[in-house]
Amino acid sequence: MKATPVLLDAAPPAAETLRSQGVVDEELLDAYSQTVSGVAAKAGQAVVNIRVGRPANPAERGHAQEAGGSGFLIAPDGYILTNSHVVHGAGRIQVTLADARVYPAELVGEDPESDLAVVRINAPALAFVRLGDSRKLRVGQVAIAIGSPFGFQQSVTAGVVSALGRSMRAQSGRLIDNVIQTDAALNPGNSGGPLVNSAGEVIGVNTAIILPAQGICFAIASNTAEFVAAWLIKEGRVRRSWIGVMGQTAAIHPRIARFHRINSAQGILVLGVESGSPAAAAGLREGDLLIGFKGEPLTSIDDLQRRLMGREIGVESPVSILRGAEKMELIIRPGEAPRSH
């Protein structure tokens, strides 16, 4: 029986042929493409373009400066989350919605320490996105960025979560912890836009790129953003206390955890203590592992930042630490963190 020759370079049916057979474009998309396009259609309605006018500096005899960025609606009554550096020093803020409507916006509050800000427009029943839980993120999961790079509104790029727990400095000089690294392409103008997961939930606020590197971009975690946005809407600023340590999340050795009956698997490793700080006065040392504050466990930098709010300023509070294999209790009196301008 003679074999039928098979042409190895034979092409699959063309798209036009498939359409003639009743197969539409949506059915040609693979699962990944369907996920990205679905999220873009859903979350994109809440993404806005922000144009900012900054007054000219008389000393420099310059003209008024125009700048821009992105943002996204977090409530149906016009609250928009963006980056502090997008709107800082603005004399005029203008917001363009996904449907091309344009509104003036007012600054509700900004927090240069976390590079986050909230602005508001006067418009009802707006599409908005929900903030997801960034603690549930996993390296390698899909990450989709939506924004206005170079003013091109509603631009979508997709990639993955490349790494978690990064740190970067805000323009105020303060370290922002638990930053998300992604390879979803970002460009100038993407700042303040959302980084979204496959469910359409915001997992981060796009904030920075490293030039001239490619595929190394950063977003502020959604849990940090949710915490800061709530205070900005409530008080217009975030009033923080301060103890003067630099640290990172670190694991607690299982044997030590069992011996001291510690339920948490991790704490905060102290990498440095500022001279003259409340931490130094309390006796904290580099290498200590912070595991508790006022009887509540500390498992991450986020936990500590959440507890160091204005109400803790000047209040003596017990902190639990591990120094080597020994568990200790220290008393610390947080001071007020200086405001950034």
DSSP letter at 204 equals E
From the list 70, 111, 114, 115, the catalytic residue is 115
| Residue among 134, 155, 172, 191 flagged as catalytic | 191
The dihedral built from the CA positions of residue 294, 298, 301 and 303, taken in this order, carries a sign that is negative
Instruction: Identify the CA nearest to 249 among candidates 300, 313, 208, 174.
Output: 300
- In the set 85, 155, 222, 300, the catalytic residue is 85
Q: Are the beta carbons of 28 and 13 closer than 8 angstroms?
A: no
If one counts every other C-beta atom within 10 angstroms of the C-beta of residue 163, the result is 14
The span from the CA of 288 to the CA of 284, in Å, is: 7
25 catalytic residue (yes or no) = no
Residue 96's closest CA among 66, 74, 121? 121
Task: State both tokens at 282.
Answer: 């309390």
Among residues 36, 74, 80, 47, the alpha carbon closest in space to that of 189 is found at 47
CB-based burial of residue 326 (10 Å sphere; 0-12 exposed, 13-18 middle, 19+ buried)?
Answer: exposed
Q: Assess whether 33 carries a catalytic annotation.
A: no
Say whether 115 is catalytic: yes
Catalytic site positions:
85, 115, 191
